[in-house]
């Protein structure tokens, strides 16, 4: 199996994030996650490691708003130029807005702080000097996997960091800046019918946002019910698309404590939805935070659950670009990822 990765992810490592109640914590989405997975891959005899190609900006701008991408590219330098205190010790800081747009009739302001609150949805999308380059490389990793799956008609794995499925057309959220899976799926959709299956613990709000009014890409997400879980405002079962996209989106919100049996039952229904769509390609947003004991999840999926999830998805027998999303139980992250990937080799 071709595995795409890059060391450029290390340039994105914010010194902190802010949780509910204003608690400042070390950044959960850190380089150790990627290192654990890569170490596990290197122990196998089937993982073939490759650097990504550079697809330039066009495939990204086909999914994301141009002004938003410009904001990501210029944010850090503009902030440093506007604040002498930050510019004196930039390694101690991360850019986070203090005011957020409600997006009813709002528009981006000219100030960097105003645009930050317009283009960033929450306090976990921390930006530092290397964030944009890391996000750009992560998107190229996903595109390289999609390109490989198209050319070889085989499955591939994009070891993306930062992840992407919370990033919408024009906003960053939940550790995500460019929606890697959506960029890959949109590229594949020019080659044939494409479906996205998101098995991350949290609802793929950005992916839903991007494709919600489209009927050429089916989007399906299994996740913690947003009635109690992030992102809270999107991912409900009655959200099924709009306009031309009506009926081309499915959400499967699950309760706290969902175990292997509950998860696999939802997965079977999701896979039937995909079979009925009859795609030629699949993009799998894989989040290992469904694991029992993940610090940012409440599900109780076991290692055997990961094996069965992988086997059932691989049973679709589709060229699959597997895109890494979340997963924060770092000690188990490498083994959980390998357990799922082994079904596609």
pLDDT in tens, 42-62: 999 999 999 999 999 999 999
60-97 tens-digit pLDDT: 999 999 999 999 999 999 999 998 888 999 999 999 99
Give backbone dihedrals phi and psi of 252, rounded to 5 degrees, phi first.
-125, 80
Give me the active site residues, please.
166
Min mean pLDDT across 85-89, 104-108, 196-200, 249-253 is at 104-108
Mean pLDDT of the chain: 96
Task: Compute how many other C-beta atoms are within 10 angstroms of the C-beta atom of residue 261.
Answer: 9
Residues in the chain: 345
Percent of the chain at pLDDT exceeding 90: 91
The pLDDT of residue 155: 98
Q: Which two three-digit tokens encode residue 274?
A: 């995909």
Give the pLDDT band (50/70/90) at residue 33. Answer: very high
The pLDDT of residue 102: 82
Give the pLDDT band (50/70/90) at residue 228. Answer: very high
Burial class of residue 309 in the structure, from the number of CB atoms within 10 Å of its CB (0-12 exposed, 13-18 middle, 19+ buried): buried
State pTM to two decimals: 0.96
Give the pLDDT band (50/70/90) at residue 109. Answer: confident
Q: Is the peptide bond before 231 cis (omega within 30 degrees of 0)?
A: yes
The pLDDT of residue 107: 76
Would you say 327 and 161 are in contact if contact means Cβ atoms under 8 Å apart? no
**3.40.50.300, 3.40.800.20, 3.40.50.960, 3.30.2350.10: which CATH number matches 2-64+129-344?**
3.40.800.20
| pLDDT > 90? residue 287 | yes
> Is residue 321 within a helix (H) or strand (E), and if so which, with residue range?
strand 320-324
Would you say 159 and 38 are in contact if contact means Cβ atoms under 8 Å apart? yes
The pLDDT of residue 227: 96
Min mean pLDDT across 25-29, 105-109, 142-146, 216-220 is at 105-109
Sign of CA dihedral 332, 335, 338, 343: negative
114-155 tens-digit pLDDT: 898 899 999 999 999 999 999 999 999 999 999 999 999 999
The pLDDT of residue 222: 98
213-224 tens-digit pLDDT: 999 999 999 999
Return the axis-axis angle of helices 31-42 and 330-341, rounded to nearest 10°: 50
Q: Is the peptide bond before 162 cis (omega within 30 degrees of 0)?
A: yes
The pLDDT of residue 292: 98
Collapsing DSSP states into helix, strand and coil, what is residue 254?
strand
The pLDDT of residue 84: 85
Name the CA radius of gyration of the chain, rounded: 19
Q: Which two three-digit tokens encode residue 330?
A: 């770092």
């Amino acid at each position: 199996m071709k595995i795409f990765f890059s060391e450029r992810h290390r340039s994105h490592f914010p010194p902190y994030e802010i949780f509910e109640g204003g608690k400042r914590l070390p950044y959960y989405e850190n380089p150790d996650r990627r290192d654990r997975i890569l170490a596990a891959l290197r122990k196998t005899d089937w993982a073939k490691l490759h650097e990504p190609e550079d697809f330039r900006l066009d495939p990204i701008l086909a999914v994301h708003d141009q002004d938003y991408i410009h904001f990501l590219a210029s944010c850090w330098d503009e902030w440093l130029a506007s604040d002498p205190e930050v510019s004196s010790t930039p390694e101690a800081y991360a850019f986070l807005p203090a005011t957020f747009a409600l997006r009813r009739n709002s528009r981006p302001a000219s100030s960097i702080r105003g645009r930050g609150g317009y283009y960033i949805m929450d306090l976990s999308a921390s930006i530092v000097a290397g964030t944009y380059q890391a996000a750009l490389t992560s998107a190229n990793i996903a595109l390289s996997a999609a390109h490989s799956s198209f050319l070889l008609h085989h499955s591939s794995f994009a070891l993306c960091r930062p992840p992407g499925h919370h990033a919408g057309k024009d906003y960053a959220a939940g550790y995500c800046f460019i929606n890697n899976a959506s960029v890959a799926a949109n590229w594949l959709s020019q080659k044939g019918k494409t479906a996205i299956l998101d098995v991350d613990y949290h609802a793929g709000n950005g992916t839903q946002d991007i494709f919600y009014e489209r009927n050429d890409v089916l989007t399906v997400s299994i996740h913690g019910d947003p009635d109690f879980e992030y992102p809270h405002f999107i991912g409900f079962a009655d959200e099924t698309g709009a306009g031309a996209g009506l009926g081309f989106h499915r959400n499967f919100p699950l309760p706290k404590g969902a175990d292997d049996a509950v998860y696999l039952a939802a997965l079977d229904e999701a896979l039937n939805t995909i079979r009925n769509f009859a795609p030629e390609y699949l993009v799998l947003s894989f989040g290992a935070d469904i694991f029992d004991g993940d610090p940012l999840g409440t599900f109780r999926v076991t290692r055997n659950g990961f094996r069965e999830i992988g086997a059932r998805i691989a049973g679709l027998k589709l060229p699959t670009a597997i895109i890494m999303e979340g997963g924060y139980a770092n000690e188990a992250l490498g083994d959980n990822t390998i357990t799922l990937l082994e079904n596609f080799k």
